[in-house]
């Protein structure tokens, strides 16, 4: 790489609304389609998501396209979404410093250059993220995982500096157990369990798979094989039967804000009580103190809808289906409680009933900027906040005003 290459590279000034890098990756596993992926031998307790196909094929075929399932996998040519093509594979920090995404001997690397001289290279080992909005990437160094400095954002088809790395070339952020607990089903830890794991991919059960919500299923799968005529499910957990708090705790494991582990990694399983395994961050006094990223449970819990009902996350979300961006679908679920003349229906007279039924969400759960997740876009010196939809359900007068004004402009 030469100075002339950098000179030809124009500085891009980009602006965007990002939804964070929380849940990422494409639907591939080591080059195989998800349904063909072998069960992982990470633990004798786990059967692997693919083992569910023989009895639950229709559910599994749908689930394989969800952000949960696609949230991590080995890095391959199919799973890495960012471009390695010349002219699209460079991120310039300044005229002298850059990172290039390069292919070498069939593997993929992020390579640091200073004045055109290679300083460091690290291999893409794991992709993290559903890929709908972007991906971030991890690499192994002995038994420790680290985050690579470059993240990819799909909508812009651009590389950017990973959150927390803004403005500098760095490779040193370790990936802890809490990262893997939310972006994988299981990982086999070595001592110390918070930061070190068995290095090889076959010791990680990638993605948030069936056994994250239904608990380890090896015994269940074996029982069903031995008793094919028995139609009752044994030795497996069904979240539909949980108490309200059990259901909420299952989602709060990853969507409940900052948790401090009080037990070894991956001890918590579906149906358990979260406070027996983690202590919560209690610094947030009210919803205004809760960042829009990472604590959807805290925001939901502060909402009047939540406090005056028995709703859970499953009241609005079907974990077996890819529902991202389906505003009308979620609005219909709002109307399950907010029926006309129920006393809890929308009284906004400037919006037609038909429009209300199609979009409750933008008024009452608007997209907001995160204070905790920020990335650096090429050509900018100030990091850009990631944005995502708030789960604090309430009336937002400014959002209502924007929408009603937009409707007036359309009608004129």
CA distance 53 to 44: 19
As a whole number, mean pLDDT of residues 6-24 equals 35
- Distance spanning both ends of the chain, measured CA to CA: 55
Residue 367, Cα to own-chain centre: how many angstroms?
Answer: 16
The pLDDT of residue 56 = 96
193 band by pLDDT with thresholds 50, 70 and 90 = low
Residue 143 resides in a domain: yes
Residue that has been written with the tokens 């494409």 in this structure? 26
Q: What is the mean pLDDT of the chain?
A: 84
Q: Is residue 231 part of a domain?
A: yes
**Tokens in use for 6?**
């950098």
Longest dimension (CA), the chain: 71
In a domain, 387, yes or no: no
Beta carbons of 142 and 27 less than 8 angstroms apart: no
354-395 residue pLDDT tens: 888 889 999 999 999 888 877 778 887 787 777 889 999 999
Note whether residue 105 is domain-resident: yes
Say how many C-beta atoms besides its own lie within 10 A of residue 43's C-beta.
Answer: 17
What pLDDT, on the 0 to 100 scale, is given for residue 52? 96
For 138-190, the pLDDT digits (tens) are 999 988 899 999 998 877 788 998 877 777 889 999 998 899 999 999 998 77
Q: What is the pLDDT of residue 168?
A: 80
254 belongs to a structural domain: no
The model's confidence at residue 21, banded by pLDDT at 50, 70 and 90, is very low
Question: Rounded mean pLDDT of 32-46?
Answer: 52
In a domain, 66, yes or no: yes
pLDDT band at residue 231 using 50, 70 and 90 as cut-offs = confident
Q: What total number of domains does the chain contain?
A: 1
Q: Residue 347: inside a domain, yes or no?
A: no
- pLDDT (tens digit, 9 = 90+) per residue, 328-352? 999 999 998 988 777 788 888 777 7
pLDDT class for 192, splitting at 50, 70, 90? Answer: low
**Whether the bond into 192 is cis, omega within 30 of 0:** yes
Domain holding 147, by residue range, is 1-236
Q: What per-residue confidence (pLDDT) applies to 213?
A: 97
Cα–Cα distance, 141 to 126 (Å, whole number): 12
More confident residue, 1 or 72: 72
| 258 φ, ψ (degrees, to nearest 5) | -75, 120
What is the model's pLDDT at position 298? 95
Q: What angle do CA 191, 195, 197 make, to 5 degrees?
A: 65
Three-state SS across the chain?
CCHHHHHHCCCCCCCCCECCCCCECCCCECCECHHHCCCCCCCCCCCCHHHHHHHHHHHHHHHCCCCCHHHEEECCCCCCCCCCCCCCCEEEEECCEEEEEEEECCEEEEEEEECCEEEEEEECCEEEECCCCEEEEEEEECCEEEECCEEEECCCCEEEECCCCCCCCCCCEECCHHHHHHHEEEECECCCCCCEECCCHHHEEEECCHHHHHCCCHHHHHHHHHCCCCCCCCCCCCHHHCCHHHHHHHHHHHHCCCEEECCCCCCCCCCCCHHHCEEECCCCCCHHHCCCCCCHHHHHHCCHHHHCCCCCHHHCCCCCCCCCCCHHHHHHHHCCCCCCCCCCCCCCCCCCHHHHHHCCHHHHCCEEEEEEEEEECCCCCCCEEEEEECCCCCCCHHHHHHHHHHHHHHHC
**Per-residue pLDDT tens for 79-135?**
999 999 998 999 999 899 999 999 999 999 999 999 999 999 999 999 998 877 789
Position 41 pLDDT exceeds 70? no
Q: What percent of the chain shows pLDDT beyond 90?
A: 57
For residues 117 and 34, the answer to whether their CB atoms sit within 8 Å is no
Q: Is the pLDDT of residue 252 over 80?
A: yes
Angle (CA) 182 334 295, round 5°: 25
Q: Record the tokens describing residue 53, joined without a space.
A: 């196909």
Flag whether 276 is in a domain: no
Q: How many CB atoms lie within 10 A of CB 28?
A: 19
């Amino acid at each position: 790489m030469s100075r002339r290459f950098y000179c030809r590279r124009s500085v891009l000034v980009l602006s965007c609304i990002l939804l964070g890098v929380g849940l990422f990756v494409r639907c591939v596993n080591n080059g195989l389609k998800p349904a063909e992926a072998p069960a992982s031998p990470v633990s004798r307790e786990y059967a692997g998501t693919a083992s569910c196909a023989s009895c639950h094929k229709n559910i599994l075929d749908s689930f394989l396209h969800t952000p949960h399932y696609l949230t991590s996998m080995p890095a391959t040519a199919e799973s890495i979404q960012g471009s390695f093509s010349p002219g699209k594979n460079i991120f310039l920090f300044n005229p002298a410093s850059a990172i290039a995404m390069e292919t070498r001997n069939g593997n993929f690397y992020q390579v640091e250059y200073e004045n055109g001289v290679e300083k460091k290279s690290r291999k893409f080992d794991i992709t993290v993220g559903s890929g709908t909005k972007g991906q971030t990437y991890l690499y192994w160094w002995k038994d420790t995982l680290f985050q690579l400095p470059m993240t990819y954002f799909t909508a812009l088809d651009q590389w950017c500096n990973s959150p927390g790395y803004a403005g500098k070339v760095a490779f040193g952020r370790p990936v802890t157990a809490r990262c893997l607990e939310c972006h994988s089903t299981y990982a086999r830890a070595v001592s110390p369990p918070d930061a070190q794991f068995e290095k090889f991919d076959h010791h990680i059960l990638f993605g948030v798979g069936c056994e994250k919500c239904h608990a380890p299923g090896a015994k269940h799968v074996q029982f069903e094989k031995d008793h094919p005529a028995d139609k009752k499910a044994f030795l497996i957990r069904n979240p539909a039967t949980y108490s309200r708090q059990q259901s909420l705790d299952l989602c709060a494991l990853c969507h409940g804000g900052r948790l401090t582990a009080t037990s070894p990694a991956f001890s918590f399983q579906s149906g358990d009580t979260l406070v027996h395994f983690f202590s919560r961050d209690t610094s947030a006094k009210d919803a205004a103190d809760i960042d829009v990223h990472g604590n959807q449970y805290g925001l939901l819990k502060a909402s009047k809808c939540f406090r005056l009902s028995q709703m859970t996350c499953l009241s609005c979300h079907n974990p077996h289906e890819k529902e991202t961006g389906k505003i009308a679908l979620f609005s219909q679920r709002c109307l399950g409680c907010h029926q006309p003349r129920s006393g809890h229906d929308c009284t906004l007279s400037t919006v037609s009933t038909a429009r209300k039924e199609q979009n409750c969400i933008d008024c009452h759960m608007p997209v907001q900027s995160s204070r905790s997740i920020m990335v650096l876009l090429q050509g900018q010196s100030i990091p850009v906040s990631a944005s995502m939809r708030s789960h604090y359900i309430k009336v937002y007068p400014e959002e209502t005003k924007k929408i009603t004004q937009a409707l007036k402009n359309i009608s004129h």
